[in-house]
């Protein structure tokens, strides 16, 4: 019974501090590394850290097994939080805002680049 009360208190505090439209939860023990190519601020906590993203970009989580990786778009104001063995990617915007943040290949060209290449040939 005491565990249930503690869990409710933790859930209420977490919800109040870090409300989000959606969340991605990853087990830290399965993670090898994480790439964050945009600006961020990091704050240490009792059980880990909290990263506040300052710019939009893609975050890549590399896993230990089978060379797997997870790649997702995040926007300014989103939070990456490590709490013990959990890594939470808290998305603050509605899902539609992330659909426009698709990853692009380094080989992809913009429309202007394609048109200028055609005119030079």
Tokens describing residue 2: 């005491």
- Write out pLDDT tens, residues 67-116: 889 999 999 999 999 999 999 999 998 887 887 765 544 455 566 666 66
Interatomic CA distance for residues 36 and 28, integer angstroms: 16
State the DSSP code for 56.
-
Does the pTM surpass 0.85? The reply is no
pLDDT at 90: 93
**Secondary structure (3-state) at 87:** strand
Domain that holds residue 67: 17-100
Residue 30 maps to a domain: yes
Residue 109 maps to a domain: no
Number of domains the chain contains: 1
Instruction: Note the Cα 40 to chain centre separation in Å.
Output: 11
Which residues contact residue 71 at a Cβ distance below 8 angstroms, ignoring those fewer than 6 apart? 58, 59, 60, 61, 103
Residue 9 maps to a domain: no
Residue 108 maps to a domain: no
Residue 47 maps to a domain: yes
pLDDT band at residue 39 under the 50/70/90 scheme: very high
Interatomic CA distance for residues 107 and 113, integer angstroms: 12
Residue 105 maps to a domain: no
Q: Of 66 and 46, which is predicted with more confidence?
A: 46
Residue 106 maps to a domain: no
């Amino acid at each position: 019974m005491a565990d249930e009360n503690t869990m409710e208190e933790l859930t209420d505090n977490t919800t109040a501090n870090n409300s989000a439209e959606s969340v991605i939860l990853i087990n830290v023990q399965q993670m090898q590394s994480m790439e964050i190519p945009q600006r961020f601020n990091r704050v240490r906590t009792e059980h880990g850290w909290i990263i506040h993203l300052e710019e939009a970009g893609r975050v890549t989580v590399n896993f230990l097994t089978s060379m797997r990786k997870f790649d997702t778009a995040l926007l300014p104001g989103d939070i990456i939080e490590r709490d013990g063995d959990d890594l939470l990617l808290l998305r603050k915007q509605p899902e539609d805002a992330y659909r426009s943040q698709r990853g692009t290949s380094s080989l992809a060209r913009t429309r202007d680049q394609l048109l200028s290449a055609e005119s030079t040939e």
